[in-house]
Amino acid sequence: MQHANATVEHRADAMEQALDARGWKPADFIAEQGQLIDEQWLPQNGARVVARAWTDPAFRQRLFSNGRAAVAEMGLTMPLHHRHLVALQNTPTVHNVICCTLCSCTAFTIIGIPPDWYKDLEYRARVVRQSRTVLQEMGLTLPPETEIRVWDTTADTRYMVLPEQPLDTVGWSLERLAGLVTRDGMIGVARL
């Protein structure tokens, strides 16, 4: 039964060899995915979307009615199975936060690859039941009157939080506004 106790590294090696033997070139696939993660699937994409939504009310409306189509206008693509992109608007009285209770799903081509804590069972379980406490532990203390809405991602519906635009940034350029927007802000565990 030694195979049942094989380390993750041994299992990954065994899979890679099995795929290699079939000519599927797993190393090339991994390198390609790594490059996409490092160079293209960056939170800066979502940051540009947020900045545009802050400054262009017609675009914001399109983002709310069909997120996938709206980001495509900006040249941003999503995998086919990410059928819906839903933008969640934060307001002074409503704060949105996203999770994937099953695993690690995000709109990763738009807001970037999820951080390790997002995939952690602790976050996935607790943010649903004890959202206010979890946010507080992560450094975000919300007023007691602010309603917190937690959104559980599914395979085909992906979310991004549209943070509130800081008041003192009205009139800034798109580029400068985008520079304010963080991955954590689009997950909803931070405010700007």
Residues that bind Fe ion (CB under 5 A): 100, 102-105
Point out the catalytic residue in the list 65, 99, 100, 173: 100
Point out the catalytic residue in the list 99, 104, 131, 173: 104
Quote the CA–CA distance of 123 and 12 in Å, as a whole number: 26
In 3D space, the residue among 26, 47, 28, 23 whose CA is nearest the CA of residue 172 turns out to be 47
99 as an active site residue: the answer is: no
104 as an active site residue: the answer is: yes
Cα 13 to chain centroid distance, Å, stands at 29
Least separation in angstroms between residue 145's CB and Fe ion is 31
Quote the CA–CA distance of 158 and 184 in Å, as a whole number: 15
Least separation in angstroms between residue 56's CB and Fe ion is 31
Quote the CA–CA distance of 191 and 180 in Å, as a whole number: 10
103 as an active site residue: the answer is: yes
Shorter beta-carbon distance to Fe ion: residue 53 or 127: 127
Least separation in angstroms between residue 124's CB and Fe ion is 9
Shorter beta-carbon distance to Fe ion: residue 105 or 111: 105
Three-state secondary structure string covering 120-170: CHHHHHHHHHCHHHHHHHCCCCCCCCCEEEEEECCCCEEEEEECCCCHHHC
Least separation in angstroms between residue 108's CB and Fe ion is 10
Point out the catalytic residue in the list 65, 99, 105, 131: 105
Shorter beta-carbon distance to Fe ion: residue 16 or 152: 152
Shorter beta-carbon distance to Fe ion: residue 51 or 134: 134
Quote the CA–CA distance of 105 and 158 in Å, as a whole number: 7
Least separation in angstroms between residue 28's CB and Fe ion is 25
Quote the CA–CA distance of 150 and 30 in Å, as a whole number: 33
Question: Distance from first CA to last CA of the chain, Å, rounded?
Answer: 52
Cα 175 to chain centroid distance, Å, stands at 20
Shorter beta-carbon distance to Fe ion: residue 126 or 132: 126
Q: Would you name the residues annotated as active-site residues?
A: 100, 103-105
